[in-house]
Amino acid sequence: FLQDTVNSIGTALLLSLLMAVILFWLLFRSWRVAVIALVAISTTVATAAGVLYLQGATLNITVLIGMMLAISVIVGDIVEDFHAKRRPGPASVPEPLVAADRRTRVIQAVHRVRTPLMHASLIMLIALSPTLFLAGVPGAFFQPVFWTAALALLIAMLVGLSVTPVLVQLLLRRGIEQETEGPAVRRARAYQDRALHAVRGRTSASLVAVAVVGALGLAAGSQLSGDRPLVPTFPDRTLLVQWDTMAGASTDEVRRVASRASQELRAVPGVSSVGGHVGRAISSDQVVGSSSAELWVSITPDADFSQTEKAVREIVQGYPGIANNVMHYSQQQIGSERSSMEPGFAVRVYGTDMGILRDKAEEVRKAIEGVAGVQNPNINATAMTPVVEVEVNLEAAQKVGIKPGDARRAAATLMQGIVVGNLFEEQKIFEVVVRGAVDVRDDLTSIREMLINTPDGGHVLLGQIADVRLAPSEVVILHDATSRRIDVEATVSGRPLADVQRDITAAIKNIEFPLEYHAQIPTAYGNQQADWTVFLWLWGAALVMILILIQTAVRNWKLALAIFLAMPAALAGAMVAGWLAGASVSLLTLTAFAAVLAVAARNAALLSASADEHWRQSPGSLHTTVVMRAAKERLVPVLKSAVITILVLIPPAVFGGVVGAAAFGPIALIIGAGLVTTTLVGILVLPLLMILFGPRSGPEEWDSVYEADLPVMPVSQEKVEVS
């Protein structure tokens, strides 16, 4: 499975790279552009992979997701680089500087486009930055995504400032700068022109439509915050079936049920093999009872995984009275880690005797049941199983001269067995155990009638000197240090956790505990809730920082606030796609929204930069005229970026095997749908917002910014003879 997955993902990534090269060639109609794009993408990915390798990172799903998010932004950045470098040069360049005009235009393009692109990349990283403060299992998965994306974006920025301009200067002597618009571009500009005039003619209705689309997107996005898996579910062609029969069920009965279920599972079309183990091993990595079992169901590669899994679940659920769970191995591992690292709210009762502990736990449950904010309190006690207890009557044993230890050892030998030697076979050692027959050791009467030798050569029945009975016993003993414990668990909602804890502490003080017994609230849950509170505050701070970055890019607070409020409409497609994808969307794949947000911010920043450039070239132009020129100029790069990004994300989702379908498929769907609404907002809504709320004049600092871009020619002095 692992080798097939690696091969599939490798093939899919190569197809994505080939797809990007072909698209750049076709859309720009220049093989030179395709070569530059190939070098830029390959250099970025290879350098990022090399740095991660030197840092000791492994190529896992989190690293791949981070790289995929970065690529979805980097591809559009490369498109913007090429379009910035094809703008006509400034008309004010003196005639002697025509030879240096090409180098000047490349430098100006870098200055003009890379600042907005840097703003967009920072917005993406700021949107992901709160995940750095997640603790426990979520932090272990989200943090590599952030650092991989940050590393790839940083390297892409360096490549865009160094490698790409040099290649443009060397390869694009002609070609892209002399490209003429095709009929498709002319039709697109005509559609945009009509749409912009319609939007400007119905300003109020257009703003209401944007608000409605944003509200619908937020409504769909609110449905994504439910109970979702942390990571994508990878159908690794193996299902884990966990059995837990009634306490006290014998190992033979569990084995019989598991064997019968195995026969039924093997008959399911698509199942290649079934294996498992029954009971509890002496040295086990799991805390289970002897009445538990696990079955491993392997599914053939050509079988329909979802249909086969459904059939397996139907068979497993057909055994009444047996608790079962069907999951993937990754789900089991993550679930066990999360349960140990992220416990729920509980009041923990400590003591020594289990009977007293249960009684006091019940008192605690009743006490906290009336606390406001506490819901469904229950005692989380381990299951009890019947065991045979042998309690020696010391007086009776002393009369016949038998020591209590001799009586207990005889009973233990009959029921559990005793090691009498070892068997060596094929370089393996097997213990030889002697114990009573099945029909003897499973019968209390037979145990009571067991004969025990007396010192005088006689015999006595075990039942005459000991009380042999069945008694309940715990399957698992839970303890902290040397104190046994029971948890009273509950759900806390509707009130601040600190207030609930204060009321619970007051309620517990009214309960009288014997010596060495007490109850307390563990701090782990409170710390976990405090971490989530900090996480939410960081999200708020991230939103404020995003607003500030947008204002820095568009240099106007009213316009920045309008763009910020229009972001839900830009992300509406991604939110609706995530909602429609249902259970296939995990919490880790929701990071795709950061990439869509970056694209939306990039469109806004570059539209503002384009308008400022038109103002620099035509200082006396009207505000509306400048914005409309910039909107028409931005149409082609926005469309090309969206098309290339969407198509580049398809191969990993389609040809990446089961891992690609589970992890990259939802990300591609979210980003692809988000790019649809982001593109519509970028070419129709953003120009309207700039006309309504944008600055009315060009920036004053353009002359100083671009003054350094023009080569300085030495001024020769003429000699004048004075007579």
- 212-248: pLDDT as tens digits: 999 999 998 888 876 667 667 666 678 888 777 776 6
Tell me how far the alpha carbon of residue 131 is from its chain's centroid. 10
Tell me the range of 9-13, 73-77, 176-180, 579-583 where mean pLDDT is highest: 73-77
User: How large is the average pLDDT for residues 574-594?
Assistant: 85
Q: What pLDDT, on the 0 to 100 scale, is given for residue 520?
A: 85
User: Whole-prediction pTM value?
Assistant: 0.74
What average pLDDT does the chain have? 81
Tell me the range of 324-328, 575-579, 657-661 where mean pLDDT is highest: 575-579
Phi, psi of 349 (to 5 degrees): -105, 125
User: Is 101's pLDDT higher than 60?
Assistant: no
User: How large is the average pLDDT for residues 482-505?
Assistant: 82
Integer CA distances (angstroms), 679 to 60, 98, 599, 684, in order: 32, 37, 9, 8
CATH architecture of 238-327: 2-Layer Sandwich (3.30)
Q: Is 357 exposed, middle or buried (0-12, 13-18, 19+ CB in 10 A)?
A: buried
Give domain 2-231+528-707's CATH superfamily.
Answer: Multidrug efflux transporter AcrB transmembrane domain (1.20.1640.10)
Phi, psi of 520 (to 5 degrees): -155, 165
Phi, psi of 300 (to 5 degrees): -65, 150
Residue 433 β-bridge partners: 419
Q: What pLDDT, on the 0 to 100 scale, is given for residue 702?
A: 46
User: Is 340's pLDDT higher than 70?
Assistant: no
CATH topology (fold) of 385-474: 3.30.2090
Strands 418-425 and 428-434: antiparallel
User: How large is the average pLDDT for residues 332-354?
Assistant: 67
Name 618's Cβ contacts closer than 8 Å, sequence gap at least 6: 626
Confidence category of residue 148, pLDDT binned at 50, 70, 90: very high
Confidence category of residue 301, pLDDT binned at 50, 70, 90: confident
Under a CB-based contact definition with an 8 Å cutoff, are residues 120 and 601 in contact?
yes
Q: What pLDDT, on the 0 to 100 scale, is given for residue 149?
A: 92
Handedness of CA 677, 678, 684, 685 (dihedral sign): positive
Domain 346-383+478-521 CATH class label: alpha beta
Residues 645, 636: Cα–Cα separation, whole Å: 14
Name 229's Cβ contacts closer than 8 Å, sequence gap at least 6: 331, 334, 583, 586, 587
User: Is 700's pLDDT higher than 60?
Assistant: no
Tell me the range of 276-280, 451-455, 701-705, 712-716 where mean pLDDT is highest: 451-455
User: Is 699's pLDDT higher than 80?
Assistant: no
User: Higher confidence at residue 398 or residue 246?
Assistant: 398
Question: Are 346-383+478-521 and 385-474 in the same CATH fold?
Answer: no
Q: What pLDDT, on the 0 to 100 scale, is given for residue 671?
A: 93
Q: What is the pLDDT of residues 625-648, one digit of tens each?
A: 888 888 888 888 999 999 999 999
Q: What pLDDT, on the 0 to 100 scale, is given for residue 282?
A: 54
Q: What pLDDT, on the 0 to 100 scale, is given for residue 414?
A: 84
* Domain spans of the chain, in order of start: 2-231+528-707, 238-327, 346-383+478-521, 385-474
In the chain, the percentage of residues whose pLDDT exceeds 90 is 18
HSE (CB half, 13 Å, CA atoms) of 387? Answer: 16
Tell me which residue has tokens 């089961």. Answer: 658
Residues 549, 536: Cα–Cα separation, whole Å: 20
User: Is 328's pLDDT higher than 60?
Assistant: yes
Phi, psi of 583 (to 5 degrees): -70, -15
